[in-house]
Amino acid sequence: MNMRAIAQDTFGGPEVLKVIEVRRPEPGPAEVLVRVCAIGVNPTDSWHRASGGLAGGQTPVRLGWDVSGVVEAVGPGVTIFAPGDEVFGLPRHPQPAGTYAQYVTSPARHLVRKPSRISHTEAAALPLAALTAWQALVDTADVRPGQRVLIHAAAGGVGHLAVQIAKARGAYVIGTARSVKHDFVRGLGADEVIDYVQVDFSTVARDIDVVLDTIGGEYGPRSLTTLCAGGLLVSLAAPSESYLADEARPLGLRAAFMIVEADRAGMLEIAALVETGRLRPQIDTVLPLELAAEAHELSHSGRIAGKIVLTVD
């Protein structure tokens, strides 16, 4: 049985993404086959499309990690799911998963049950971005009530979820965003929003306990100046940002670079926040799977507030 998927046989701009037909996969031991309903689009998808990323320059490439759908079949040894279960998660990350498709296989324990109060479209927007925020703010930074947390690109895919997670942890949250997105960020629960176009955030953000940097470059060194003694900068930008740890140490500060990992325990915590109404993804644009290239073009535009999601008929 065949299925539709998005693939590329060269690296480059969004135009390299093509619809292909391939054989539907079969679940192996401890795996499930998921009939895909929706797929979240993330900036890392564009990086892999353009450069090969973790594929090491090998083609063809099948993009995508975020997935929400219905279990179609289970492989040997799977006891936690049965056909018909609605699930969502982040299969295999940081290894390739290829969720831009009608069907995908996943290790069973890289998925959890979809919260009943959200749609597949909303659920698909969560895994990579929400797990990134959770692992940065909770597992890495251990954000606590009353701490001051600065979140860069607070209207973005990771940022808008990070604001909500930090607030759920009882933090005082400051976000950076363009002025047109300030109402959006405040609506997420942010206590303050800084227009980074008009103001140098490092001159107004003070006594920060934790900075979440999704941007990199000059934002790292400037963010260090906002931290209080013992404060922590968590960078998601690139491995090259690891030099910040050496710069932070003599100042009595800390800095770390983090890559999100597939994480069932974290996904269960995220699902619980959704079920209690403390976390909700904001969807900017929904497009069919076949328009993956258009989704990537939108992702580059800088006009997005929240997430882009692809849906599968």
Residue 215 lies in a domain: yes
Q: How confident is the model at residue 302 (pLDDT cuts 50, 70, 90)?
A: confident
- Looking up residue 222, the CATH number of its domain turns out to be 3.40.50.720
Per-residue pLDDT at 56 exceeds 80:
no
Same domain? 136 vs 71: no
At residue 237 the predicted structure's pLDDT band, cuts being 50, 70 and 90, is confident
Q: Tell whether 119 is covered by a domain.
A: yes
* Stretch among 57-66, 149-158, 176-185 having the lowest mean pLDDT: 57-66
Q: Residues 185, 71: one domain?
A: no
263 within 8 A of 136, measured Cβ to Cβ:
no
H-helix segments, 33-90: 43-51
Q: Is 83 among the domain residues? A: yes
CA 9 to chain centre: 25
State the pLDDT at residue 6: 97
What is the tens place of the pLDDT at every residue in 16-37? 999 999 999 999 999 999 999 9
Runs of H (alpha helix) within 149-275: 157-168, 182-187, 201-204, 219-224, 243-248, 264-275
Is the pTM here over 0.75, yes or no?
yes
From CA 177, how far away is CA 162, in angstroms rounded? 13
301 vs 41: CA distance, rounded Å? 14
Overall domain count for the chain: 2
Greater model confidence, 301 or 276: 276
The answer to the question of residue 59 being in a domain is yes
CB 154 within 8 A of CB 161: no
pLDDT value of residue 243: 84
Rounded Cα gap, residues 5 and 103, in angstroms? 8
State residue 118's pLDDT score. 98
Clarify whether residues 298 and 214 are in a common domain. Answer: no
16 with 87, same domain? yes
In this structure, the chain runs to a length of: 313
Positive or negative, the Cα torsion across 172, 177, 182, 187? Answer: negative
- Across the range 129-153, mean pLDDT stands at 98
Print the domain residue range for 213. Answer: 129-257
Report if residue 266 sits inside a domain. Answer: no
Average pLDDT over residues 171-199: 97
Query: Does residue 244 sit within a domain?
Result: yes
What's at 264, amino acid-wise? Answer: R
Chain centre distance of CA 130: 5
pLDDT tens digits for range 98-115: 999 999 999 999 999 999
